[in-house]
Amino acid sequence: MQGMAQAGFWIAVYLAAVLAPLGLLLVAPTPRGGGFWWDVAMGFGFAGLAMMAVQFLLTARFRRATAPFGIDVVYYFHRYLAYVLVAVLVAHPVVLILINPAQRMYLNPLEAPWEMTAGSLSLLSLLALIVSSAWRKNLGIPYDGWRVVHLILAVAAMALGFYHMWAIGYYSGTPVVRVVWALIGLSVLAVVFRVRLLRPWSLLQRPFRVTEVREERGDSWTLAMEPVGHGGFAFEPGQFAWVTLGHSPFAMREHPFSIASSPVPDGRLEFTIKELGDFTRTVGQIEPGEPAYVDGPYGAFSLDRHPDAAGYTFIAGGIGVAPMASMLRALADREDPRSHILFAAHSDWERIPLRDEFQRLREHLDLEVVHVLEEPPEDWSGETGWITREVLDRHLPENRDEMEYFICGPIPMIQKVEGFLDELGIPASRVRTELFDLA
């Protein structure tokens, strides 16, 4: 309930931030205009610009604002909102041209005054940003390069759009409106400063050092690291952090990984990482002693947020076992007396990361581990294929609707399992998911 109230509060803050500039239109003196549709077009412009400013705040990783939703949900919101804001901003010139076709001339940079061209360039930057983000994988743009381009296009779109609005001055010429927009502009600058300079600088002051690189089954590696000259940070089991290895924290080369270890007083951390692409394929070559920068913790995927459950059910696909390991290790450290289940879906028996660790944890916990294998060995008597409604039904206890559920794995698996749990009568309010795909 408290989480819902917090979520409601932050949604209200979001709506207020986006709608405030529209509210200002009502109090500002009406400039010479072209009637109702002209005002509507202005409204689209102001609302779009305000939404653009809020986009910067959404990915600034403010812990308090993202906590009720989970940061992955906030990133998805940022992504889908981008389409809405582009539609709103495109509507701004489209409506103006529809009510007065002569205004088409403003699209021609040779004829238009510079402040009009700034508006067109802002829109073009935004369209380039959308295309390079939505089709990044199809266009073969590497993730790290895309992040830099994304930042440049976003700042360009915002700055040009801001200048367009400011220089033209319709509805924005009065001192009070100018002050509000100046504050919005300064907030965006402050966020960029905080995210790109202040935070990397503070990470530089609190480095970690890799202490061990352990090979795991299924092309995975566990990286152990310890804080150097500080106590590390407190986290809730199941949360994740952005990790930079082999680069300065200013280099924008960080990757999100779930913390796989349980919280310990000396701040040591472990991450279990699957070889997947450019960066993760290099993890096995990292040497102990290498400096690491860890920005965390983030995320809401933790049993500590749901302490009153009758027990916990963890449902993992592939490397989705990493946050589950953190939560199970924490339960074992705390000598938790409740009954728990781990469903782990993998291709074959030899490729299950942390398999032996889950076996070890069974000695310390009332834990049932259900491996579901796509390609089982010949003598396999356990579950086969995928995690289905029947598999869940066979192993979940009578009091299943009093348990708390954590799902992490490929997106189609998460969606299917959510559906199965629903069919089994598990309330949606008891189901948590973690997406390993932010971008």
Instruction: Write out the residues near ligand FAD by the rule CB under 6 A.
Output: 72, 137, 143, 240, 254-258, 271-274, 276-280, 319, 322, 434, 436-439
From 73, 411, 438, 63, select the one nearest 255 (Cα to Cα).
Answer: 438
Closest separation in Å from C-beta 241 to ligand FAD: 9
CA neighbor of 93 nearest in space, from 108, 80, 82: 108
Question: Can you point out the beta strands (E) in 269-311?
Answer: 269-274, 291-298
The nearest distance, CB 279 to ligand FAD, in angstroms, is 3
Q: Which is nearer to ligand FAD, 172 or 261 (CB)?
A: 261
Q: Which two tokens stand for residue 279?
A: 């960066």
Residue from 306, 237, 298, 234 nearest 2 by CA: 306
Q: Where are the beta strands (DSSP E) in 219-278?
A: 220-227, 240-245, 255-258, 269-274
Closest CB to ligand FAD among 277 and 377?
277
**In Å, what is the CA distance from 199 to each residue of 165, 194, 438?**
31, 6, 20
Alpha carbons 45 and 86: distance in angstroms, whole number: 10
* CB nearer ligand FAD, residue 49 or residue 259: 259
Q: How far is the CB of 59 from ligand FAD (least distance, A)?
A: 11
Task: Give the nearest distance from C-beta 24 to ligand FAD in angstroms.
Answer: 37
Tell me how far, at minimum, the Cβ of 422 lies from ligand FAD, in Å: 24
Q: Using alpha carbons, select from 127, 151, 131, 156 the residue that is nearest to residue 141.
A: 131
Residue nearest to ligand FAD (CB): 277
CB atoms within 10 A of CB 255: 18
Angle, vertex CA 298, rays to CA 293 and CA 301, nearest 5: 135
Task: Name which of 297, 270, 282, 258 is nearest 212 in CA terms.
Answer: 270
Q: Is 153 or 184 the residue whose CB approaches ligand FAD more closely?
A: 153
What is residue 304's three-state secondary structure?
Answer: helix
Least separation in angstroms between CB 225 and ligand FAD: 14
Whether the CB-CB separation of 173 and 253 falls below 8 Å is answered with no
Q: With respect to ligand FAD, which residue has the nearer C-beta, 86 or 316?
A: 316
Q: Which residue's CB is nearer to ligand FAD, number 16 or number 439?
A: 439
Q: Two tokens at 323?
A: 């946050």
The Cα–Cα gap between 300 and 432 comes to 9
State the Cα angle at 113 between 111 and 119, rounded to 5°: 105
CA distance 259 to 168: 50
Cβ proximity to ligand FAD, 47 vs 283, nearer residue: 283
Question: Least distance (Å) from ligand FAD to the CB of residue 350?
Answer: 18
Nearer Cβ to ligand FAD (230/281): 281
Closer of 206 and 274 to ligand FAD (Cβ):
274
Give least dist CB 75 to ligand FAD, A: 8
- We find the least distance from the C-beta atom of residue 74 to ligand FAD, in angstroms, to be 11
